[in-house]
Structure 1
Amino acid sequence: MKKGRNELLAEEEKILAPYAVSSRNSGSRAYEEPEHPYRLPFQRDKDRIIHSHAFKRLEYKTQVFVYSEGDHFRNRLTHTLEVAGISKTISKVLGLNEDLSETIALAHDLGHSPFGHAGQEALAELMKDKGGFEHNKQSLRVVQKLERRYPDFPGLNLCEETLLGIMKHGGGYETTQLLEVRRTLGPSLEALVVDVSDEITYSAHDTEDGLESGLLKLEDVKQLSIWKRIESSLPNSEKKSDLHSHSISRSIGRVLLNLMVSDLVDTTHQTLSKHKIESRESIAKAYQNKIKLVHFSEEFQKEFTELKQYLFQNLYRHPEVSRMSERGKETIYLLFKHFETHPESIPESYRKREGEDGRMRIICDYIAGMTDRYAIEKLKREGILWFPY
């Protein structure tokens, strides 16, 4: 049996909870396009993101460890794929639109600069009095303006609900109709799931990568409150294994993910029932009343917060990570200053927007889109001071 658009829409609505975003309610696109006969709106958005240049470049952008540190540590692309997987799992269990959650997840880091958060800090400082820089805001800019895949419009022309999901609170977005809708409706549950899935994913995989790299010590992790839960869930064979083996670090990462997702699903389900969330309107009302709908249990949240604080102090501020971060920052400072005085080094596709956006913004866009390795290569090719990584 061949299924057409109407059959697919009907099947989707049978399995979605009443508070989920259906494809019928995906919102319009900025530039009108005919509907596809058998691909639903969020599936089309997902494909557009995957085929974008910005998505492909995520493979060589830093998560915590720069690409030259090893082939098995997470990068921005593997992180994104893990967030998408976790988001789909949670959405499926809660009756949400998996396609929308996955799409938002795949787009959530498109605007991230090279060299991770260190790169963002450098660009934010350089653009402080010139409109600023924030990677969530840049992700929206990428899909609305910077990607050039279609002759009839800039950006990817994504559905309104996808764009609303990419927007995050505090992103400093320009005042537009889209922002007004976001302020009124608030985020969909699918978008909220992606936000927490992002935290879940990096907390688990950064713990795993930190242990595997030797920057974190298992003896210290065992002092955390959440360790009791982890230990009780570890296979007996792992409890008896070498405490410094790679296998136990991977088991800890896997167990952490399961613990966090399970607690989030159970607690969120209870909260949705408690507040009688049955529609997009009831979600908007909860948002306006500052009611948190997607969250951990109170006890688990305390343990999760302690874990994140531990990672911040012992991994993200580790001297080795700080050394890599400072080199990344210096690379961005050098490139930015060079492009200010040598605009001819900027690709023409960026330069032609200078009259519209200004030189500083096009430089920022160009650098933000670079991979770690391209930024380093650019230093060499432009004859700028370079240091080994």
Structure 2
Amino acid sequence: MTATVPFAADPRASRGRLYPEVISTFRSPFQRDRDRIIHSSAFRRLKHKTQVFIEHEGDYYRTRLTHSIEVAQVARTLAGALGLNTDLAEAIALAHDLGHTPFGHTGEDALAELMQPYGGFDHNAQALRIVTKLERHYADFDGLNLSWETLEGIAKHNGPILDAEGKVLKPPLPMALAEYNAQHDLWLHTHASAEAQVAAIADDVAYNHHDLHDGLRSGLFDEDDLMELPITGPAFAAVDAMYPGLDKMRRRHEALRRVFGVMVEDVIAVAEHRLQAAQPKDADAIRHLGTTIIRFSDKLFRELKVIRHFLFTRMYRAPSVVAMRAEVTQVVHDLVTLFMKAPEHLPEEWRGDVALAASDTELARIVADYVAGMTDRFALQEHARLIEGSQAWPQAPYQV
């Protein structure tokens, strides 16, 4: 879609790619980025990676793939309403979770702990590593060779990484991000484009909506609980007034789609107001405003915090979820420990990199890349095959 405002990202003015390519005659650079992301191996693997519930626990729960598709849909809607470049917003949204480990944030926490002595682990930085190095399908380069604007959005859609003096705002700077930025400056000291900010808020909209839906389906709470909360309570009351006696599943859907609408409409209204006040002249003006321009209103943000606290206590820390978190944390620790001590257990296509590893840190990065790329089911299968029932690696799961 052609952008309609001067501060939208213009594909004709893109800062280009690390490896120059001939411009497509029928796709813009951002459309090409989107298509490469969709066709990547890492994107396909999101089908079997956890959102909240372990992938095999039920066919109706969101996975990282369905979540990413929902985020992309919201991002296109918001970008279109604000006159921004919908293709760039969609590309960043589709790529934003490529770096997630198996088992969601639980797997990331476990891997981050293990990788702390070796440069750390962060899923946003890992997504950048995937699209710039680990996808190895093209003859002329490693990675997907995405445009600068898409890479920038993947790296810092949640805000600047460095301050104006180059100091890391939330240390440590992930090694994957530092390595790539050294050869292709992504302006880590500024905010990202408006399109990247749209992708970030679309992520919030999507998970605030679908976590409520998945929590209801799981039985961890019910509609009566949501009647006591801001946003959700009025939404259910509105449905009851309009459709008295509506069956349970339709009532649930109608209420939650209203919650979805409240968030989207709030973001658009706030963005229009802030953009009108700022009057940015071009895309770089958005980057240098020194503040996030795409955000929730203060009132809605406070109400969403109440909902997130409810979800934290009733869903993310429910006893059944906590028990599963402990199990999958052990799986990640066991696999990393095994591969660090005996890298010959890595698949053959990874052993060439292992042979070139000149230090424990380099080996640890290879192991982290491999484990982070696993799906939930593959990690469980490999744990069962390599570790369960074996006494070879019994007592030190937290040591690498």
TM-score by length of 1: 0.90
The match for 2:168 is none
Matched, 1:216 2:221: yes
Matched, 1:362 2:350: no
The match for 2:107 is 119
Q: Tell me, what secondary structure is at the counterpart of 1:79?
A: helix
Q: Deviations over 1:233-270 (max 9, x none)?
A: 4364655346xx33333333322111100111011111
Q: Give the whole-Å Cα distance in 2 for the aligned partners of 1:264 and 1:39.
A: 29
**Runs of at least 5 residues in structure 1 that lack an aligned partner in the other structure:** 1-10
Q: Tell me, what secondary structure is at the counterpart of 1:148?
A: coil
Q: Tell me, what secondary structure is at the counterpart of 1:127?
A: helix
The match for 1:310 is 310
Give the 5 Å matches for 1:1-389. Answer: 12=2, 15-168=3-156, 169=159, 170=161, 172=174, 173-174=177-178, 176=181, 180-231=185-236, 233-234=238-239, 236=241, 240-241=245-246, 245-287=248-290, 291-354=291-354, 355-356=356-357, 358-385=362-389
Q: Give the whole-Å Cα distance in 2 for the aligned partners of 1:281 and 1:339.
A: 44
- Provide runs of 4+ in structure 1 moved above 6 Å: none
Alignment check: 8 A CA contact 1:184 1:284 kept: no
Alignment check: 8 A CA contact 2:18 2:184 kept: no
Alignment check: 8 A CA contact 1:208 1:252 kept: no
Cα displacement (A) at 1:366: 0.4
Q: Tell me, what secondary structure is at the counterpart of 2:188?
A: helix
Deviates more, 1:143-152 or 1:229-238: 229-238
- One-letter code of the match for 1:319? P
Alignment check: 8 A CA contact 1:16 1:22 kept: no
Change in Cα spacing, 1:225 to 1:370, as seen in structure 2 (3 Å) is same
Q: Give the whole-Å Cα distance in 2 for the aligned partners of 1:273 and 1:178.
A: 36
- One-letter code of the match for 1:382? L
Q: Give the whole-Å Cα distance in 2 for the aligned partners of 1:89 and 1:178.
A: 34
Q: Tell me, what secondary structure is at the counterpart of 1:352?
A: helix
**Runs of at least 5 residues in structure 2 that lack an aligned partner in the other structure:** 162-172, 391-400
Q: Give the whole-Å Cα distance in 1 for the aligned partners of 2:146 and 2:243.
A: 45
Q: Give the whole-Å Cα distance in 2 for the aligned partners of 1:162 and 1:149.
A: 19
Cα displacement (A) at 1:192: 0.4
Q: Tell me, what secondary structure is at the counterpart of 1:286?
A: coil
Please tell me the root mean square deviation across aligned C-alpha atoms, in Å.
Answer: 2.0
Deviates more, 1:164-173 or 1:261-270: 164-173
Deviates more, 1:52-61 or 1:299-308: 299-308
Q: Tell me, what secondary structure is at the counterpart of 1:273?
A: helix
Cα displacement (A) at 1:350: 2.3
Change in Cα spacing, 1:205 to 1:182, as seen in structure 2 (3 Å) is same
Alignment check: 8 A CA contact 1:193 1:294 kept: yes
Change in Cα spacing, 1:206 to 1:179, as seen in structure 2 (3 Å) is farther
Deviates more, 1:207-216 or 1:232-241: 232-241
Change in Cα spacing, 1:179 to 1:246, as seen in structure 2 (3 Å) is farther
Change in Cα spacing, 1:19 to 1:45, as seen in structure 2 (3 Å) is same
Alignment check: 8 A CA contact 2:270 2:295 kept: yes
Q: Tell me, what secondary structure is at the counterpart of 1:358?
A: helix
- One-letter code of the match for 1:365? D
Q: Tell me, what secondary structure is at the counterpart of 2:60?
A: coil
TM-score by length of 2: 0.87
Q: Give the whole-Å Cα distance in 2 for the aligned partners of 1:285 and 1:163.
A: 18
Identical-residue share of aligned pairs (%): 40
Change in Cα spacing, 1:301 to 1:55, as seen in structure 2 (3 Å) is same
Alignment check: 8 A CA contact 2:98 2:130 kept: yes
Q: Tell me, what secondary structure is at the counterpart of 2:178?
A: coil
